[in-house]
Structure 1
Amino acid sequence: MHSNLLPGLTSAATLLGLAQGQSQPYHDWAKAYEAAEALVSPWTTEQQANISVRYGTAPGFVPFEPSDGPTGVSGGQGVSGWVGGQTIASSWNRTLLADHYGRMAVEFREKGYNMLLGPSTGPLGRSPLGSKLWEGLGSDPYLNGKLFGVSVAAIQEQNMISCGKHYLANEQETNRTSYGSDDPAMRTSSNLDDRTLHELYLWPWIDGVANGMGSVMCVMNRVNGIIGCENDHIMNGVLKNETGFKGFIVPDVTAPLDKTAGLNGGLDWNSGYSLSQLMAAVNNGSISESVVNDHALRIVATQLNLLLPPEEYASTDETTDLNVRDAGSKDFIRRAGSEAIVLLKNKNGTLPLKSPKSLGIFGKDAANLATGPTPQSDFSNFAGDTYDGHLITGGGSYSPAPYVVSPLDALTARAAEGQGFGYKYILSDNWTVTPPESTGEGFFQTSGVSVSEYASESEHCLVFINAFGKEGSDRRTLADETGDKLVNDVADYCSSTIVVMNNAGVRLVDAWIDHENVTAVLNAGALGQESGHAIADVLFGDVNPSAKLVYTIAKSEDDYNGQICACCECDYTEGLYIDYRHFDQAEIEPRFEFGFGLSYTTFSHSNLTITPTTDTTTLAAYATGNVTEGGPSDLFDQILTITASVSNTDDIAGAEIAQLYLSFPDAAKAPIRQLRGFEKVYLEPGVTKTVTFPIQRRDLSIWDEEEQGWKIVGGDYGVLLGKSSRDFTAEGSIEISTFR
């Protein structure tokens, strides 16, 4: 930190705190803005402008210290390697995500940073080939938003600023920026209608704003023809005015090109201008003093609202080698990882493994090979469809990890503990399948190691494959032929073949899923530093899997509709119909649907009850309340309470995720079904609990493009309770009448 300025800021902050009868952080935007006004108003225009310049100071103001890394402190030493966003989202556990991001935020704070560039809500998932989807929180806006909101709140509870990423419609890496060119037309333009913008891509951001999010990172790509970090409509019009966002906007790298347009369009900090360049734009009238003042107020108010006084944070210059890993972090990461593993197949109860005698271990993903423990940073080049070793994270923003526990490490530890099994391994995806001709005779005869030999000699065969995705270059396939062949080669010789996929996004399985000897499949994602232990915990039944897919796994890549666009106009002609919404609308049978996931126990649902909490026969069609954080205040009014009973019908304790979907009246022209509630409940054998789904006005609304407002369309609303987006256990309906 800039210690020479600390006394000035401490004094100013203390005086402001005394004046308000409250000390920093305020945790009250109105009081924070009042205090910010008192601090900023005596400044000259140049002083106000200076704090929107990176590392710029002003009387009584010290700049904040940001650090990137949605999976940990970027490039940091002595920090943890956390579970990837899309992976931990598969837990569907709000409490787990809050704990995860709260613990991560503590490491940032102890390193001297007070702004965490994360979590990532976008990309959402227009195309499964989008290579940064592993950072996000799933392909449904409702699920994504709920998890995004609690994660933002958890970070900021640690006296940190959460900077949500990436606003808005950053759905592919291809041509997201124009490397080596200042021509904006060389950047992809996400061209989408206003309803799609609001109901899909803006939806999770509303949850972030409603949870007090302090900062937002705008995108490098264009949105409807205008670079995201220069786009007045999406930054000022939508984010700041419509949703009532009180914080400040920062740019992603290389954005904007037109810095004046960026600052006028809503970009508050680090436009790329020096102070002299910024003041030249002010003096020639290109940027008004009121714009400069607004930027300064937003930056100062956010700090006063969320951060401790600056002397409470360590200097980053002094923490480079400081170990800030909490003793309990590794155990938490292991537990979080195991809760995020989705069990896709379990034929004849293959899992959990029951006192196995011999295991065959196959595939490069089983061990730490080549280089590591995490991928090298490379923001522009394609780095392959798979990772040459055990995958614990995707690539980008320099994801840290102090070490990696691979599956082979974890299995070795269990074998060493005397659990009664031995193993053989082939740490390659492309090994000889059948034995070569033998050499020698008698005692000296040998035939060499082969997949068929090791597989046929093993009671169970564990095949580890992965799918890699990284910042800067989109994926080129959703399945690699070499990995598919390895699974089939092992399964041809092993009657109990268990496939474990560590994947940065969707990985197709149809090349082998119906093989009679493929008896179990785990979709393990990017599990962080304790990956191997988390996988072993599920394999051996120490953890009963409870995760569900946060995207759809198709039978064929051609079944998806959103594609990566070539340079440089990308028309979102699919509109609202991405992921399961598309599969439902197009009547395409997926291999594994959104929300799917098995357990080692069984559950039943019953007693679906729909109770209005207001008069649903005379509802105003439009939300018209004063704008608060998130939008019109009445947008968050509760309209319905829906309850159901969930029972554990087996003899093993476990957790079930009850999912609630709504179907809208035909006049709404909405997707066939949309997720509007989920609740994860842990149940001992034979126990029944009640789950509750509060339904807000927002959950029943569509975006009316003509009226530019959130509207409830009157008519019959279907209510579907289920275990996934296609497996429903109870149905009901309610009639809603509206007036203008």
Structure 2
Amino acid sequence: MFSLILLSVSSGVAGAAVDKRIPVPAGYVAPSYYPTPHGGWTPDWSESYHKASLLVSNMTLAEKTNITAGSGLFMGRCVGNTGSALRVGIPQLCLQDGPLGLRNSDHITAFPAGITVGATWDKDLMFRRGVAMGEEFRGKGVNIHLGPSVGPLGRKPRGGRNWEGFGSDPVLQAFGGALSIEGIQSVGVIATMKHLIANEQEQYRMYSLAQPGMSSNVDDRTLHELYLWPFAEGVRSGVGAVMMAYNAINGSACSQNSYLINGILKDELGFQGFVMSDWLAQLSGVASALSGLDMSMPGDVYIIPLLGNTYWMSEYSRSILNGSIPVDRLDDSVTRILAAYFQMGQDRNYPRPNFDTNTQDAEGPLYPGALISPRGIVNEFVNVQANHAEVAREVARDAITLLKNINGSLPLSRNSTLKIFGTDAEKNPDGINSCADQGCNKGTLGMGWGSGSARYPYLDSPIDGLKSRSANFRFFNTDSLPSNSNPAPGDTAIVFVSADSGENYITVENNPGDRTSANLNLWHNGDKLVQDVAAAYSNVIVVVHTVGPVLLEAWHDLPSVNAVLFAHLPGQEAGDSLMQILYGDVSPSGHLPYTIPTSESNYPSSVSLVSFQVGQPQDTFTEGLYIDYRHFHAANITPRYAFGHGLSYTTFAFSNATITPVTPLTATPPPRPAKGSTPTYYTTIPPASEAYWPANFPRIWRYLYPWLEKPDADRAAAAVNSSTKYPYPPGYSTTQTAGPASGGAQGGNPALFNTAYRLTVTVTNTGTAPGKAVAQLYVQFPAGIPVDTPTIQLRDFAKSATLAAGESAALELRLTRKDLSVWDVAAQNWVVPDVQGDYGVWVGGSSDALRVRCGTVGAACEERGEGPV
């Protein structure tokens, strides 16, 4: 979501304009898909749907429409607040950011960002961080957690919000997202997977009067095999909510893209929860409802919010009364929302919000967006931190990625004489939360900026960490080499540098979210600082806090640059987590969640940021499947550091691999299970009286309500027999369908997730220090198949416990049917392209260090001197 943007024309004009699709390049289609599939047909949601449908059958029209939209910007304690149905026991639902912690609140934990979690390559940590975040959101009374983020995928290395997700590979992103969802929802909080889909750039993503939002033009196969993959896994994990992206897909805005919401998400992937708009991303009333949108956030129209205008609420009531929207479409939306509520057990002693995202004061207006608002206690300062700092510190530590370590420069000895350079080493001197939504890059960079940020309860900076170690150091809090640093022969210089990005409602140092001004360079003259320090000192260590790939070529190979560490975005625990690695308490075990290039020219031109275009900006994904390491391999480009690279203070060997067939493969999956029964909804339009304003109701101006004045409601009801009907889109139907062959359960046809092969591999610590190893499994499709595939593709990974020197452990990995399939555009199904072919299954510590190959033909494994790339 984003902060408030005000534009200036009537909502009616805008609504008419955005309903019309704008032509996109040939071959990129967004077909219609109607009607919205009713939810409730999977057995694992049946009880919650039964409870929800019983409730809905006893709700009035206004009670139902009140549940489907927010009460308006700044009209409640949370960033989003639905209406309520108190007569039947449903309170307002609180929706709150964000992916790394509870935004704009107190006594919370500022966890490491998603990209940092991805760099751990640790499934257990992914889950435990999710649990800890869920506990904090529940403790603050948040019903719906607006995270995790699995879109953008990181297609564009300069994209502003890549750091909110887990890495530039769909499988790494999928595990990070799905395990976070399982952790968050394990404590009863509804997780929200976002943003569906292909919102890979911040600039020009949003619709406005000036121009429509960007159209991400993606072919069907690429959509399925890359960008949809993490969403499928999140749905399979039972996620309760999905948030739509601001941009369009193939010319149709995501918030009203019927193919995307109805066809792919709710039918093909079997999503049983509810679909919400991003904040002010809803562009129409009836069209978005018919296309499958279930909840409008924050409820206002996108052109001029805060005037009390809405596409839904009272307008939804009107559209039901006049027959524009079928009654079962509203009932299905409300049932989906309430089913998620019941699925997470929120009807049983769930806390109410005890914080206010709008103020840090104890007392304040209850509805800050209103000109005149009642006041009261809005912040109760409930401490929800528990022991979550330990989880945050463990994530920050185990994500630290050692890229280079010459001559054993690391770990440091206890009596090392240190000279510390760079403002990134110490907290922002103006205050750790002095910039709203972290919209600046001053001091230690622990997170990017925007709605995905959180307030620090404290920030343990690297300087704090050095002090706690009683280290012998001198700190120069500057981004240029001072003349008085007085280099001595035994000194070790540690240089702290950074690169930032964020959401585009904030511009930081001329970067409007995306890194447009900084490109992939370090900020604050970081390259020159490293060069100057390297010229003065003979032993230099560089620590990088960054949102993503940065160019290292200006100094990486200088003789005195002996070690390079990526600490990513560590959140509040930047200090001690780093000290544990620098001083060798723990061996580094992080691995890169993206590729580091030698130049921006390494990338295909199609992943550059799209600049201003007259009309709707077009972002056409002509590179198809070839992003990040897939592109580097196809183009035969050697990067500075490969995807998955990460060193340790010890060494590991992979051996004794075995591959075992589990489920026999066929070219196409077995037939999908049939849909189970769904609730039966009445189709009779309710009486107009169900939408009348209650007598003597105290109204708050700008607050969004579901009621209509009596004459207005009566006119709407009378119009149901009018000859002027809503112009339904081509192909519109109200008949429920059996669903596509690729569906059948949450995530798709359940046979797709059957284990086809099980692998075990022994990892041995062959060095002298204890450490954790990461085994990465990549698939190489058989040669000669009639479909193009990347050279290798990540399919699974596992991280060992800490292994002592000489100790071994067996790690288990798996390959599913889906892992060995491609999306067949003609068949609209997942197909194994060569059932009898020999799939190469490669295992190693990095995408460019794969030394164990197993073949699916003969089920044999061997150790090799060279890998596939």
TM-score in terms of structure 1 length: 0.89
Q: 1:474 aligns with which of 498, 514, 519?
A: 514
User: Would the aligned equivalents of 1:606 and 1:730 in 2 still touch at CA under 8 Å?
Assistant: yes
- 2:487 and 2:426 map into 1 onto residues whose CA distance is 18
- 2:220 and 2:338 map into 1 onto residues whose CA distance is 32
Partner of residue 116, structure 1: 145
Encode CA deviations 1:61-119: one digit per residue, 9 max, x unaligned.
Answer: 22321111111111001111110110111001111111112111111111111211101
Give the residue type in structure 2 aligned to 1:698. K
Q: 1:670 aligns with which of 789, 798, 801?
A: 789
Partner of residue 221, structure 1: 247
Q: 2:477 aligns with which of 405, 409, 427?
A: 427
- 2:492 and 2:500 map into 1 onto residues whose CA distance is 26
User: Would the aligned equivalents of 1:512 and 1:518 in 2 still touch at CA under 8 Å?
Assistant: yes
Give the residue type in structure 2 aligned to 1:275. M
Partner of residue 317, structure 2: 279
- 1:372 and 1:705 map into 2 onto residues whose CA distance is 53
TM-score in terms of structure 2 length: 0.76
Partner of residue 439, structure 1: none
Give the residue type in structure 2 aligned to 1:704. D
How far apart are 1:684 and its partner, in Å? Answer: 1.9
- 2:167 and 2:649 map into 1 onto residues whose CA distance is 24
User: Relative contact order (alpha carbons < 8 A, sep ≥ 6): 1 or 2 greater?
Assistant: 2
Mapping of residues 70-219 of structure 1, within 5 Å = 70-178=99-207, 181-182=208-209, 185-219=211-245
- 1:152 and 1:115 map into 2 onto residues whose CA distance is 12
Give the residue type in structure 2 aligned to 1:288. P
Structure 2, gaps ≥5 residues long: 1-41, 71-81, 300-310, 356-376, 505-512, 674-743, 860-869
Give the residue type in structure 1 aligned to 2:316. L
Q: 2:465 aligns with which of 410, 420, 435?
A: 410
User: Would the aligned equivalents of 1:101 and 1:154 in 2 still touch at CA under 8 Å?
Assistant: yes
Q: 2:49 aligns with which of 33, 45, 50?
A: 33
Partner-residue secondary structure (3-state), 1:588: coil
Q: Does 1:598 align with 2:647?
A: yes
Mapping of residues 346-385 of structure 1, within 5 Å = 346-374=405-433, 376-377=435-436
Partner of residue 732, structure 1: 854
User: Would the aligned equivalents of 1:67 and 1:117 in 2 still touch at CA under 8 Å?
Assistant: yes
How far apart are 1:475 and its partner, in Å? Answer: 0.7
Q: Does 1:565 align with 2:610?
A: yes
How far apart are 1:623 and its partner, in Å? Answer: 5.1
- 2:314 and 2:845 map into 1 onto residues whose CA distance is 59
Q: Does 1:516 align with 2:566?
A: no
Distance 1:319 1:328, change over 3 A: farther
Q: Does 1:634 align with 2:672?
A: no
Q: 2:334 aligns with which of 278, 296, 314?
A: 296
User: Would the aligned equivalents of 1:190 and 1:222 in 2 still touch at CA under 8 Å?
Assistant: yes
Partner-residue secondary structure (3-state), 1:90: helix
Give the residue type in structure 2 aligned to 1:471. E
Partner-residue secondary structure (3-state), 2:183: helix
Give the residue type in structure 2 aligned to 1:130. G
Give the residue type in structure 2 aligned to 1:673. I
How far apart are 1:621 and its partner, in Å? Answer: 2.4
User: Would the aligned equivalents of 2:83 and 2:93 in 1 still touch at CA under 8 Å?
Assistant: no
Partner-residue secondary structure (3-state), 2:233: helix
Partner of residue 533, structure 1: 576
User: Would the aligned equivalents of 1:69 and 1:116 in 2 still touch at CA under 8 Å?
Assistant: yes
Distance 1:132 1:455, change over 3 A: farther
How far apart are 1:255 and its partner, in Å? Answer: 0.5
User: Would the aligned equivalents of 1:394 and 1:469 in 2 still touch at CA under 8 Å?
Assistant: yes
- 1:204 and 1:728 map into 2 onto residues whose CA distance is 24
Partner of residue 14, structure 1: none
- 2:53 and 2:387 map into 1 onto residues whose CA distance is 42
How far apart are 1:374 and its partner, in Å? Answer: 4.3
Encode CA deviations 1:421-465: one digit per residue, 9 max, x unaligned.
Answer: 422221111244xx4xxxxxxxxxxxxx2xxx4344662000000
Could you say which structure has the higher helix fraction? 1
Q: Does 1:713 align with 2:824?
A: no
- 1:405 and 1:231 map into 2 onto residues whose CA distance is 44
Mapping of residues 452-467 of structure 1, within 5 Å = 453-456=485-488, 459-467=491-499
How far apart are 1:326 and its partner, in Å? Answer: 3.1
Give the residue type in structure 2 aligned to 1:675. L
How far apart are 1:332 and its partner, in Å? Answer: 2.5
User: Would the aligned equivalents of 1:106 and 1:158 in 2 still touch at CA under 8 Å?
Assistant: yes
User: Would the aligned equivalents of 1:110 and 1:313 in 2 still touch at CA under 8 Å?
Assistant: yes
Q: Does 1:691 align with 2:811?
A: yes
Partner of residue 672, structure 2: 625
Encode CA deviations 1:303-325: one digit per residue, 9 max, x unaligned.
Answer: 11113326431343667242424
Encode CA deviations 1:382-433: one digit per residue, 9 max, x unaligned.
Answer: x77xx22111110011422111111111112211xxxxx422221111244x
Partner-residue secondary structure (3-state), 1:463: strand
Distance 1:62 1:428, change over 3 A: same
- 1:363 and 1:700 map into 2 onto residues whose CA distance is 47
Give the residue type in structure 2 aligned to 1:260. V
- 1:193 and 1:554 map into 2 onto residues whose CA distance is 26
User: Would the aligned equivalents of 1:78 and 1:321 in 2 still touch at CA under 8 Å?
Assistant: no
For the aligned residue pairs, the C-alpha RMSD in angstroms reads 2.0
Distance 1:663 1:357, change over 3 A: closer
Structure 1, gaps ≥5 residues long: 1-25, 416-420, 436-448
Give the residue type in structure 2 aligned to 1:564. L
- 2:489 and 2:417 map into 1 onto residues whose CA distance is 8
Q: 1:548 aligns with which of 591, 613, 617?
A: 591
Partner-residue secondary structure (3-state), 1:522: strand
- 2:569 and 2:237 map into 1 onto residues whose CA distance is 27
- 2:137 and 2:431 map into 1 onto residues whose CA distance is 22
Partner-residue secondary structure (3-state), 2:424: helix
Partner-residue secondary structure (3-state), 2:559: coil
Partner-residue secondary structure (3-state), 2:394: helix
User: Would the aligned equivalents of 2:411 and 2:581 in 1 still touch at CA under 8 Å?
Assistant: yes
Partner of residue 681, structure 1: 800
User: Would the aligned equivalents of 1:119 and 1:165 in 2 still touch at CA under 8 Å?
Assistant: yes
- 2:557 and 2:416 map into 1 onto residues whose CA distance is 26
Percent sequence identity over matched residues?
Answer: 39
Partner of residue 657, structure 2: 608
Encode CA deviations 1:255-280: one digit per residue, 9 max, x unaligned.
Answer: 02123222211110126334221122
- 1:195 and 1:136 map into 2 onto residues whose CA distance is 22
Give the residue type in structure 1 aligned to 2:412. L
Q: How many residues align?
A: 679
- 2:143 and 2:348 map into 1 onto residues whose CA distance is 9
Distance 1:547 1:319, change over 3 A: farther
- 2:437 and 2:391 map into 1 onto residues whose CA distance is 29
User: Would the aligned equivalents of 2:196 and 2:242 in 1 still touch at CA under 8 Å?
Assistant: yes
Distance 1:375 1:623, change over 3 A: farther
Give the residue type in structure 2 aligned to 1:287. I
Distance 1:552 1:623, change over 3 A: farther
